[in-house]
Structure 1
Amino acid sequence: MSNRNDSKFLLEYRGDGVYLLVFPPIRGESVPSPNDIIMELHSRKVENPDLNKVRKALENPGEAVLVAPPQQEVLVDGTCRVDVSRNKMEAYLFITPPRGGKPVTREDVNKALEQAGVKAGIDEEAIELALSMERMTEPLVVARGKAAEDGQPARIDYKFNPGGMPGKPKELIDGRVDFYNLDLIQNVEAGQVLAEKIPATPGVPGFTVTGEELPPRQGKDVILAAGKNVELTNDGLVAVSTINGHVVLQGNKITVSNILEVKGDVDFSTGNIDFNGSVIVKGSVNDGFTVKAEADIEIQGSVSGGFVHCGGNLKIKSGIVGRSKGMIVCRGSVYTQFIENASVTAGQDIVVGEAIMHSHVSAGKTVTVGGKGVIVGGVIRAGEEIQAKIVGSNLATLTELEAGVNPYLRLEYAKAKTELVAKENELEKATKALTLLKQMQQSLGELPTDKKAIVVKVAQTQAQLVKDMEALKNDLENMEYQIAQSERGRILVEGVIHSGVRVTIGMASLHVHDDIHFACLTKDGSEIKISSYR
């Protein structure tokens, strides 16, 4: 019998002994070493090999050389071995090919796996690959464990910026930079979700190739903490605001406050303020900046060329300097020391400590000027009453006082009159256009198609204008009736009303030509009645 080894040499068992035939090397192949052949002889259990004869066979490729005495060929079966890594996460299979005996079978591999304690993560494809290989040069991984997947830590998904807003000026479409609107305040409403907690996960267990379970580490928990005016749902996973206000993260607690405090001035460091609660400004509102609040506003300095929109009451400790552009709009009452060159509108009362100068002031109820009690220049309107000490000046400065009619009603009345005039002008233009088109039709006999379309369109516009004008006239009549019925308005002047002052109560008007002292002005029919101050 013979057995060829990797096409490099051949052992032949003959009657007179064991012969070794070394094949001439093919181009690029190496010649087997003496050790290669000796190891093969040993593995084949060849007895009493002659090493000198082995060297002779190597020196004479292609010639069969007797290297051992006659003997029976020993057939060696293939073997397999499975080793498990120290961490038990991998199992390695090594197969030794047969030497004339039986090859390793799948059953042999299964027994080796069992003996090594391998129970999990077995790679069937890797085993089939190992069995198909003629010779293995290194062990093959045939089983792999799976590492445990640790749980994900809990996290909080904030629905606001927990670090506060960046407050960076925005670049506008035209390339200019808006330094006024920095959006530093994070307004929230009652019932609004502020944050959600995503719970930690338990993780996924792993296993070793020997079947041992590898427990995962539970994800680390975090606490969703509710501060003032914030509630958690029963499961503790959702934080909800209980009020309108601004939200901040204080430490690890989510807090909502319905009072916003500005430590200093409203200027380029703060930007405009737009808040859905109350605002306290420790300083002043500077030129061009705006403060908006749905509730009360307290300004401990002044408003200088700024804009204030207040849903509640407004208190300005110093005064209002409008610079002919500042505007105050308040649903409640306004309290301040003085008003100068400003527009101030209040739904309730306006109470001024010293003076109103060259301003447009409107109050749903009363305008009261204490202290020096000066009103000079501008237009002062009150739904019920105006109180002052000195109205106008020695220079006959034009000053208008209107009482007894809600300023909003008078404003709507003026607006409706202006709109009616505009509609009348439009109607006149439409009528002239139709007249010209009719004249054209008479001269041509028939209008071109495009002109016919214009006739239809202008006629529709004319009809709509007539309809709109009728509605405006009805509105004006209703408002005139309301104004005429007003009897409660009065103007109280403890000192003097100078000449140049115009007084209107309801629909009655009076232009003061001579100073009036210590007077109470009321409406008497269609006239203004002047009585002594009381």
Structure 2
Amino acid sequence: MVISESFAAVDNLVPQIVEKGDDYWELTIHLSIDELLDNRKLLSRLWNLKKHISTKEKIPIGILHYEGIKKRRQVDNLMEITVRLIRKPVEKGDPVVRLLEKTGEDGTVYTDMQAVLTIYPLDSLEQKITPEKVLLAIKQSGITENLLDVESVHQKVQQITDTLESMSDVPIAEGSLPDLGEDAQIEFFFPAQPSEENSQEYYCSRQVKQGDLICRKTPSKMGANPGINVKGKEIPPRKGIDIKLNALEGAAIAVDQCQVHAEENGVVTIRTLETKKKVLNGQKVIPAEIQLKVSPILKIDGDEKVDITTAHTVEVEGNLKIGSRIITNGEVHVAGSVEEGSVVRSLDNITVEGNVSKAELSSDQNVIASGEVSDSKIVAKGKIIVDSKIQQSRIVGKEICAKAVSGSTIYASNQITMVSLDDDESGMISTIAVGSREFFEDIYEENISFLEQATGNMDRICKVFGRPFINNVTHSNLHMQWIQFCAKARKENKKYTHNQLVSLKKLFENIPTLRVIIQEKTKENQRIEQRITETSSEESVIVVREKVGKTQEVKVNGMPVTLKATDQGVRINSDVPQNSGQTPAIA
């Protein structure tokens, strides 16, 4: 049916109904150029169309919707537009109550912690909704009356009746989470982790004597108050996150599992096993277990070339001479410099008081070098701290800190901090990348290289001693197994000179250490294969505190970012968009 409203000297602000049906209206309005160009004014005029029909037809404005523009034409200096409005059908259905879960700060998921309500203007029988029908549905869902805001429910029902519009997921009841207790705390009596501030004394501070207290644990505590869900069920308070103390070789744990003492003289090594826990804001990496070991110190004279494989901490008095090799699942401390062609592989920390030149250092923990690092390769799964400059070297670690970097390749999982970054004397700039993928790929390749060499050595040892000895010898039964080997050799009429026996025993003593390291590297590569595709939640940061000598491109989580030359220092993190500007560094 077509209806035309007749207006004498019609006002541009008054819409004209040109056509009307049972559930639609077509209206014409005139808009000025200013109204067409000003979005706020245009929306205001369109809103007035709804208001006009709502008032005229006595229909709630909320169920009127624009279907679109039907016609438009130029009239003098105005634009005449015909708009179609439709009346949305009134929704129907019985009230629906949903119970939602909540996640606590420690990642624990609690069910029935919030109730939300969906209400329709008409029920399933097309009868007008009433507060009584809604309250009955809420009661049937099991929500306790003590947590229900009845007055709010009445107000929502009245609002729906007035507007004929449905409401979805309206909160009507909220439970309270239980208190979370304090996490366990571990107190060490020396620096537990290396830093720029303690790098000089990090090794010496961890030397202990038999009976010394290594650390003390304050157990986690229970929270004070319980919680309650929307059904009125009490939720017991939660205990804080605990950390297990595990005393390994050379250490002993007290009966209460809260104190660890040294059982022998040596150097304390600390290994933290971490786990990922789902928490309120995503995932959090937390320490699950702290392993403590006191490793006896094997002192080596630095005046001659060495080639040793051992389970002890190795302390080199003086320089590590050209072409030396040390493999250990203890620590390595070099009182002087590491000279050309030397290789050091350790499952624990490596500290060097002097320079590192044309050498390779690999650690499953941290590496600290007090002097310069040049033409060398250093790989660590923890921190790498170089108190002087790095030049023409490849450095890979979780966190890397150096005074100056030039002409080098630097990969870090989490953070790279430098005082200055510049090209070298030949003009070659450094390759700088921070992010977990590059870090894990380099660690993986380093492990593969070691495993190829180590398994080859183990195969050669196996040909000398036989597979039974290779499989059965351990650090604890080493002496007994050697006696059995010698007895077997005598029974088979094998004769060895004294020098041959000395060499064979040294080779025999390598077996347990080599086997442990092979197992560790194999397991780690299996873990890397699983983790390398995961997205890291940790922030990736590059900090140059004082000077960037030449503008260059660096990578943050695989994305190229321009690092501009500056004398003021700079900080770039994983939140910086690709090729964006850089922020001043905070020293």
- TM-score, scaled relative to structure 1: 0.36
Larger Rg: 1
- TM-score, scaled relative to structure 2: 0.33
